[in-house]
Amino acid sequence: MTIVVTGATGHLGQLAVQALLDRGAASTDIVAAGRNVDALESLAARGVRTAVIDYTDPSTLAAAFVGADKVLLISGTAAGQRAAQHGAAINAAKSAGVGHLVYTSAPRADDTSLVLAPEHAATEVLLRDSQLPFTILRNNWYTENYLDTARQAAATGEVVGSAGAGRVASASRVDYAEAAAAVLIGDRHLGRTYELAGDKAWNFEEFAAAVSELSGRPVTYRPVTTDQHVAILRQAGLDDGTAEFVAALDGNIRDGALDSSSTDLRKLIGRPTTPLAEGLASVFVHAA
């Protein structure tokens, strides 16, 4: 059995490799694949095999997938180029005769206003058209996306945003990594699309309350309009494009794009997902 994990040098990928090991996969059955050679060396210290890949260089993908039974394709980071990059990985997996490709997608990717979703939806279409046996893991937000927000909120006493009363069904990366490992090791997931989300979707008032509790300081949520949010972000030093993108994501949250009551994640990992406060706690370890 050979399981290739792409993006293994990243935050989620490293946790996925560890989750495979924790679930009993033999280290020699795992191929950790990524671009960063130093990070691959650290992974090799865990006993796994490694491969240097670049989604923009199909020959590296072909070489890495030789003999692979399963591939975890972790979505890339190059916005605007990702569908083509993921397509190259899917083609290479198909040519190599991979028996199961697992892809990390976005919530309700084919039916959402989420600004990040189109590249994931396009990848899902490529995957279905490829005829490869697949599983799609539509990961909701990582709680870790909000560590800086939590740090800042504790320092300033407020969370400012344009998400209104919208809810985010985030979970910790370790939860999604365990789910990916469970799907790779299990044998009942072919053809399935899972909406992976935290057990309890939270809104920013609840986020502020969690930060208040963790930091021991009063923290409140100050909702603003999209235009006000963009102006605040620009004033904080963000360039126009980034400020508009961040506000657009808050708009998606306001519209419910990250709300979810799916229990797929907790079922796959066999335990409750990491609660918001626990996911943010690392920020406050030294605050006491």
Ligand X SMILES: NC(=O)c1ccc[n+]([C@@H]2O[C@H](COP(=O)([O-])OP(=O)(O)OC[C@H]3O[C@@H](n4cnc5c(N)ncnc54)[C@H](OP(=O)(O)O)[C@@H]3O)[C@@H](O)[C@H]2O)c1
Task: Taking each helix axis as running N to C, give the angle between helix 117-130 and helix 82-96, from 0 to 180 degrees, rounded to the nearest 10.
Answer: 20
Which of 55, 134, 194, 221 is in the footprint of ligand X by CB under 6 A?
A: 55
Determine the longest span between alpha carbons in the chain, in angstroms: 57
Least CB distance from residue 39 to ligand X, whole Å? 6
Q: By CB under 6 A, how many residues form the interface with ligand X?
A: 25
- Computed on alpha carbons and rounded to an integer, the radius of gyration of the chain in Å comes to 19
Q: Which one of the spans 70-78, 90-98, 187-195, 223-231 is the region binding ligand X (CB under 6 A)?
A: 70-78
Q: Cα separation of 101 and 23, whole Å?
A: 19
Q: Which one of the spans 28-36, 94-102, 192-200, 227-235 is the region binding ligand X (CB under 6 A)?
A: 28-36
**Is residue 9 at the binding interface for ligand X, with CB under 6 A as the rule?**
yes
- Rounded alpha-carbon distances, angstroms, from residue 162 to 72, 167, 200: 34, 12, 21
Non-local CB neighbours of 71 within 8 Å, separated by 6+ positions = 3, 4, 5, 6, 65, 89, 93, 98, 100, 101, 102
Phi, psi of 105 (to 5 degrees): -110, -160
Pattern 171-190, binding to ligand X, x per CB under 6 A? --------------------
Least CB distance from residue 246 to ligand X, whole Å? 13
Distance of CA 177 to the CA centre of its chain: 9
**Is residue 279 at the binding interface for ligand X, with CB under 6 A as the rule?**
no
Least CB distance from residue 47 to ligand X, whole Å? 19
Which of 105, 112, 123, 139 is in the footprint of ligand X by CB under 6 A?
A: 139
**Is residue 71 at the binding interface for ligand X, with CB under 6 A as the rule?**
no
**Is residue 59 at the binding interface for ligand X, with CB under 6 A as the rule?**
no
Return the number of other C-beta atoms located less than 10 Å from residue 86's C-beta. Answer: 26
**Is residue 7 at the binding interface for ligand X, with CB under 6 A as the rule?**
yes
**Which positions touch ligand X (CB under 6 A)?**
7, 9-13, 34-36, 39, 53-56, 74-78, 85, 104, 139, 141-142, 145
